[in-house]
Amino acid sequence: MEVTKVENQRLAIQKKIDKVLCSKEEIESCCPIKDILARFGDKWSIYTILTLGKEEKLRFNELKNQINGVSQRMLTVTLRSLEEDGLVSRQVYPEIPPRVEYSLTPLGQGLLLQLLQLADWAKLNIDQILEARERYAKKEKQAQLT
């Protein structure tokens, strides 16, 4: 009984993977998971989403000051691509000096929740990963000595 339960779980996972893994033609173009993950492959998108998640509304320079180390250009580029995907909204007030407010859209907030779930897993398991890296480094050293 227990065995079939585990086996069923395994089959369910395989089914899910099949749905996620796209056909050979789609692999470059539309695979949703790949597309979503590409959002975080870059250096600043996560920080931007997390920072906006904390504060509801932020102006350009407020964001820039809260995201440590980001340059003007990279923040602009990051915000544009997030806006393009409908994750961040951009409100321009045509005053002088100009004022622009950025905030997460509902879609962006949904993604934020997913990110936080992943972050929970990451925090729980980061130690195991760091240990694995150390073990690997040691093995490498030994292999080089031969």
Partner DNA sequence: TCACCTAGTAACATGGAAGTAACTAAAGTT
Partner DNA sequence: AACTTTAGTTACTTCCATGTTACTAGGTGA
Site string for DNA, 72-101 (x = CB under 7 A): xxx-xx-xx---------x-----xxxxx-
Q: Binds 89, which of a copy of itself, DNA, none (CB < 5 to 8 A, cut-off by type)?
A: none
> In terms of DSSP H, where are the helices of the chain?
2-20, 32-41, 45-55, 60-66, 72-84, 106-145
44 belongs to the binding site for DNA (CB under 7 A): yes
Burial class (CB in 10 A: 0-12, 13-18, 19+), 62: middle
Q: Give me 7's structure tokens.
A: 């086996």
Task: Name the one range near DNA by CB under 7 A: 9-17, 18-26, 42-50, 131-139.
Answer: 42-50
Write out the residues near DNA by the rule CB under 7 A: 41-44, 59-61, 69-74, 76-77, 79-80, 90, 96-100
